[in-house]
Chains A and B, each alone.
Chain A
Amino acid sequence: MQAQTAENFDKNARAAIADPVLQGALQNLARTFGTRRKAAIATVPDWEASREAARSIKSEVLGKLDKYLVAFADNAESNGAKIHWARDAKEACSTVTALVKDRGAEMVVKSKSMLTEEIHLNTALEAEGIEPIETDLGEWIIQLAGETPSHIVVPAIHKTKAQIAELFADKVGTDGDAGVDELTATARRILRQKFAEATVGISGVNFGIAESGSILILENEGNVRLTTSLPKTHIAVMGIEKLLPKFTDLGVFLELLPRSGTGQRLTAYQSIITGTKKGDDDEGPDELHIVLVDNGRSKMLAHPVTRQSLACIRCGACLNACPVYQSVGGHAYGAVYPGPIGAVITPQLEGLAKAKQLPYASSLCGACREVCPVKIDIPELLLHLRAEITEGTSNGVEAVEKAARRRGESLAFRLYGSMWKTPGRYRLFQKIARMTQRLVVRDGQIGKVSGLVASAAPPLGAWTAWRDAPAVAPESFRELWKRELKEGGEPK
């Protein structure tokens, strides 16, 4: 399958909608996670208060990000970790590959990390002759298939059990009709061998704690614990926005994240790692390297609307709730982060020019904002990015479409505005509309405008292709009122 790109969202989306297997998987996802999430948040005494608290903690961190990063780095280092700073994907990849090469490792075990997907770490490792083994079941499936994740929490959601059984039969020699338990057991058996051999483990980070230099990683499978416990060297790749000020701040985020993500009250495992092992008696890796990655994040701080993007905790709730994601799936977005949050992050990370269709991949229904555990106003962000595309407002992001092309649109809206200015004009336009609409009204609705009218005014054809509007009534309310008064008695 050819890799899909964000430039072709429209084309990708049409193909996705025509794929019955994908549609089934997406329905299953929306239904299952939707129901589980609802049940899980019902167990929280005051869900809204927790969201408010989480958002204000994130605001606190982002507003003083320099201060908190320095504190985190200092505290982590005083506990024995080594901090690396990476401005962009290239620097992050070269830092990690150099660490792996210096330790003479030819293979590394990896737990799931969206950031390592974002910086394309696996490609960088492979280019240096290092084999990265994804150990999260979903990620391993994707890796075996040579694909990319289609969801930030359940990466292989677009694949059916039958497709995975076929893939395993082809790649690792299981039965072509193996069930879920057998497939899972096969992954366990094969990946255990890798865990036993690996000398370097690479993980992501869910939260970093500034006051202690701790990192916390959540999971269900146990592969994160194996990745961070068995190898001699642990490399954690972390976005600079992942910080929380205090250790106890974890409470509210551990309440919000699993419930929003998988609808669990808590995932099976959370590991809080603070520096390296203390003495020979202790367990765990000898070395902990934390790579702090910017890669386009700090410039999101420059505007009050865009900086909200950095509050995201990657739970995936907005994907599951989004009618667009539910219809087209993750791959259509052609980017590492799909769904509503992807539609706002991708253009900021990769540039609007590469992803200018994504801010339009939304009906602005607001379901994403409703479910977001950190109250990111995604519709506001989408509108902000749309404005950047059409107006070229400055936020370090280059405008891709200049107003010139929009002159017609601007004229149409000025005309529309002028017709509401005085009662006389309003009545005049009402009359004109009544006369002209005859050409296009069917059953009291202005439906799809086609034929002569559409070719005379193409935007009208495009606008009405997907939208019905009620026809202008033969008699307005004011006219009716006047007539009835004239005919005598009280208006009915």
Chain B
Amino acid sequence: MTSRTAMLEDIRSNLAKSAPFEHLYHHLQPSTLSPPAPTPDYSTKDLADRFSNELAAVGGEIHRVATEQQAVETVSAILGEINAKRVAISDIDLFEKADLQNIELIAEPSREELFAIDAGISTAQFAIAETGTLVLRSSMERHRLVSLVPPIHICVLNSKDIRPSMYSVLEEMSNKIDPTITFITGPSRTSDIELTLAIGVHGPKRLIVILID
């Protein structure tokens, strides 16, 4: 008998010994399963404001711009400020028109290169206003390493992609689930020493979002 068969048989025989679940949970109606999320009727502007406030509250930095061109300029300015030499970028063509002097832009960094990079740049496919969360989907963009390994993650977000809640984002993605979906809420953090907050333990120390309104 394989372990699979043995385990499934154990489960079935133990379930058969027990009272049916309805007896214990009779007060629960089937309708309470996955309650529909209360989704207030936010405007795009409301959502963008709420997202910006929540992101700042968890230690993220936000720059709001009007156009994609301004987003590129802002990113360039930030890279200049931090004196970035080597920058990793996901498979997006954000910088085709940008003038990035003295910066080496690495589109597909190898594992070795990754650890010696000053900042990583990606976009986000969704964001969640209630919690200031970015949602990155691997079927749209190779986001996993550029948003994780460099000490600074710069993320470009379009305000039309902001949703009110986690419920609404899950609902929207449930038809086609990507190989990897990453939710990011602020920079990497830990409270493992005396519950004292420390930023940037394993992931990025700074999370900078450029929001195109």
Contacts and interface: CB of A to CB of B under 8 A. Distances in A.
B190 A137 contact: yes
Interface in B5-34: 6-8, 10-12, 14-15, 17-21, 23-25, 28, 30, 32-34
Closest 4 A-B residue pairs measured CB to CB? A222-B203, A138-B192, A222-B202, A63-B21
A114 interface: no
Interface of A: 25, 28-29, 32-33, 45, 49-50, 52-53, 55-57, 59-60, 62-63, 65-66, 69-70, 73, 79, 85-87, 91, 135-138, 141, 154-157, 159-161, 164, 180-181, 183-184, 187-188, 191-192, 196, 212, 214, 220-223, 225-226, 229-230, 240, 246-252, 254-255, 262, 265-278, 281-284, 292, 294, 298-304, 307
B115 A192 contact: yes
Nearest to A272: B181
Contacts of A278: 139, 179
Contacts of A222: 148, 188, 201-204
A230 B6 CA distance: 34
B179 A282 contact: yes
A156 B190 CA distance: 12
B194 interface: yes
Contacts of B52: none
Among A156, A184, A249, A262: residue with most chain B CB under 10 A: A184
Interface in B128-174: 130-131, 133, 138-139, 142, 144-145, 148-149, 165-167, 170-171, 173-174
B184 A269 contact: yes
Given A28-B194, A229-B145, A250-B170, 20 more contacts: A56-B30, A57-B34, A59-B21, A63-B20, A63-B21, A85-B2, A154-B195, A161-B196, A184-B198, A221-B190, A222-B188, A247-B173, A248-B34, A251-B37, A251-B166, A266-B183, A282-B138, A301-B11, A301-B15, A301-B18
B11 A56 contact: no
Contact of A265 (B131, B139, B182): B131
B202 A191 contact: yes
A156 B173 CA distance: 37
B193 interface: yes
Interface in B27-73: 28, 30, 32-35, 37-38, 58
Contacts of B104: none
A142 B203 CA distance: 21
Interface of B: 2-4, 6-8, 10-12, 14-15, 17-21, 23-25, 28, 30, 32-35, 37-38, 58, 111-112, 115, 130-131, 133, 138-139, 142, 144-145, 148-149, 165-167, 170-171, 173-174, 177-196, 198, 200-204
Contacts of A192: 115, 202
A280 B174 CA distance: 25
Among A85, A272, A302: residue with most chain B CB under 10 A: A272
Nearest to B91: A281
Contacts of A251: 34, 37, 165-167, 170
A66 B12 contact: yes
A117 to B, nearest CB: 16
A245 to B, nearest CB: 8
A245 B192 CA distance: 33
10 contacts: A63-B15, A69-B7, A141-B193, A156-B192, A184-B201, A214-B177, A223-B201, A273-B180, A294-B10, A302-B17
A12 B138 CA distance: 49
A268 B188 contact: yes
A199 to B, nearest CB: 11
Contact of B185 (A60, A269, A272): A269
Looking at chain B's contact residues, the main secondary structure is loop
A299 B14 CA distance: 6
Contacts of A249: 33-34
B11 A298 contact: yes
A112 to B, nearest CB: 10
B203 to A, nearest CB: 3
A184 to B, nearest CB: 4
A281 B37 CA distance: 36
A57 B29 CA distance: 11
Given A56-B32, A278-B179, A180 B142 contact: no
Nearest to B207: A268
Contacts of A85: 2-4, 6-7
B195 A70 contact: no
Contacts of B142: 281-283
Contact of B202 (A164, A226, A267, A302): A226
A49 B32 CA distance: 8
Given A272-B181, A283-B138, A225 B144 contact: yes
Nearest to B25: A59
B179 A273 contact: yes
Contact of A229 (B3, B7, B144, B191): B144
A298 B111 CA distance: 42
